[in-house]
């Protein structure tokens, strides 16, 4: 007797929100997390695999003849061997745009915390500095307005554009950077190097590709103003972490706000965790994860799976 077919979510723990099962005659199975060596066993009877970050590479996919669809529970699909899927008729879908507002707002949570010295003042109060002050206001750290300052944006997709709209509401000036080493500059953009030199804060919103790996390294950090802030809410590999940590220690830039690291979680440590403090805020890859974004992501995954079984190419990558 044949075993029933399944929908299997390999890393359900990455989506901590109520999720409805698609309206299909398939059994649903959740796994909090899945190691690469567990993939084949757990997907043995699956027609649909849901994965956020679990790798689904050719060596595993070749052993899964029942698999019809990989529903990626994210925008990025670098954890899936797309070439193998194309060659062997496995459909792949993803979800884009669900976290645009969440990430854009997180940019300004980090930027405001750094510009308004939130961590430093909070630490002063815990240490009793305000309580001992001779004056009504404790002015031990300089504060800076966003209004009138210049924000440089690298990566002008949905998130970059949402960041630009919020920045405009704060009264910031905008510099949208062209690709690094671009032979021509598109209308409305400025050369990458000019953006680095003129911006009071630089925010990154690009995918990690061979062209963007270590986009910001020591030479780029030296181009930035000593009072500038660097924000990375893209991917860890876009920034040379050791170079950034050194720049912060030497006060060559004023601060950094980082939501992504090269290795996540950073079990073996990380230069930016060692540098973390009032001028370096690290959050654990949560910019995308507002409750509203998680709910949209969960619903989109279900819609993608249902569409596949209706013969509709919804959010299809392959």
Q: What pLDDT score was predicted for residue 3?
A: 63
Q: Which residue has the tokens 């390999």?
A: 10
Q: Which two tokens stand for residue 64?
A: 């899964």
Q: Per the residue annotation, which of 235, 241, 296, 300 is the catalytic one?
A: 235
Cβ-contact 199, 175 below 8 angstroms: yes
Q: Which residue has the tokens 């854009």?
A: 104
Helix, strand, coil fractions of the chain, as percent rounded to 5: 35, 15, 50
Q: Per the residue annotation, which of 285, 299, 306, 316 is the catalytic one?
A: 285
Q: What pLDDT score was predicted for residue 5?
A: 85
Q: Which domains does the chain have, with CATH numbers?
A: 6-98+292-309 (3.40.50.720), 100-282 (3.40.50.720)
Cβ-contact 270, 261 below 8 angstroms: yes
- Mean pLDDT, the chain cut into blocks of 10 residues (318 residues total): 80 94 92 97 97 97 98 93 98 96 98 96 95 96 97 97 98 97 95 98 94 97 98 96 97 97 94 91 96 96 96 95
Q: What pLDDT score was predicted for residue 136?
A: 97
285 given a catalytic annotation: yes
Q: Which two tokens stand for residue 58?
A: 């050719």
Listing DSSP states for 168-188 in one string gives: HHTT-EEEEBPPTT-SS--TT
306 given a catalytic annotation: no
Q: Which residues of 171-206 are buried (b: 16+ CB within 10 A; e: fewer)?
A: ebebbbbbbbeeeeeeeebbbbebbbebbbbbbbbb
Q: What pLDDT score was predicted for residue 1?
A: 43
Distance from C-alpha of 214 to C-alpha of 234, rounded to nearest angstrom: 12
Cβ-contact 7, 42 below 8 angstroms: no
Q: What pLDDT score was predicted for residue 2?
A: 58
Q: Per the residue annotation, which of 32, 87, 129, 264 is the catalytic one?
A: 264
Listing DSSP states for 235-285 in one string gives: -GGGB-HHHHHHHHHTTSSSEEEES--SSSS-TT--HHHHH-BTTEEE--S
pTM attached to this predicted model: 0.90
Q: Which two tokens stand for residue 302?
A: 């279900």
Q: What pLDDT score was predicted for residue 29?
A: 95
264 given a catalytic annotation: yes
């Amino acid at each position: 007797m044949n075993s029933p077919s399944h929908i299997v979510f390999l890393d359900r723990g990455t989506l901590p929100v109520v999720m409805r099962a698609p309206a299909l005659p398939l059994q649903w199975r959740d796994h909090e997390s899945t190691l690469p060596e567990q993939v084949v066993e757990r997907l043995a009877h699956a027609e649909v695999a849901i994965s956020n970050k679990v790798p689904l590479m050719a060596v595993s996919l070749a052993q899964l003849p029942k698999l019809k669809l990989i529903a990626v529970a994210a925008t990025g699909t670098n954890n899936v061997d797309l070439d193998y899927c194309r060659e062997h008729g496995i459909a792949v879908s993803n979800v884009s745009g669900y976290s645009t507002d969440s990430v854009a707002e997180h940019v300004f949570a980090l930027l405001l915390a750094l510009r308004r010295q939130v961590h430093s003042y909070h630490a002063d109060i815990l240490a009793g500095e305000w309580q001992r002050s001779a004056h009504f206001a404790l002015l031990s750290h300089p504060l800076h307005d966003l209004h009138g300052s210049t924000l440089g944006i690298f990566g002008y997709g949905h998130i970059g554009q949402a960041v630009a709209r919020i920045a405009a509401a704060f009264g910031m000036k905008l510099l949208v950077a062209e690709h690094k080493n671009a032979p021509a500059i598109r209308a409305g953009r400025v050369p990458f190097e000019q953006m680095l030199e003129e911006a009071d804060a630089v925010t990154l919103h690009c995918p990690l590709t061979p062209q963007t790996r270590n986009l910001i390294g020591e030479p780029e950090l030296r181009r930035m103003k000593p009072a500038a802030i660097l924000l990375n809410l893209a991917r860890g590999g876009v920034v040379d972490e050791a170079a950034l940590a050194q720049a912060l220690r030497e006060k060559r830039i004023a601060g950094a706000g980082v939501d992504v690291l090269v290795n996540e979680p950073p079990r073996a440590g990380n230069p930016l965790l060692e540098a973390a403090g009032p001028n370096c805020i690290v959050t654990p890859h949560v910019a995308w994860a507002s409750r509203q974004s998680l709910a949209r992501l969960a619903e989109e995954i279900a819609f993608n799976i249902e569409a596949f079984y209706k013969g509709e190419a919804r959010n299809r990558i392959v």
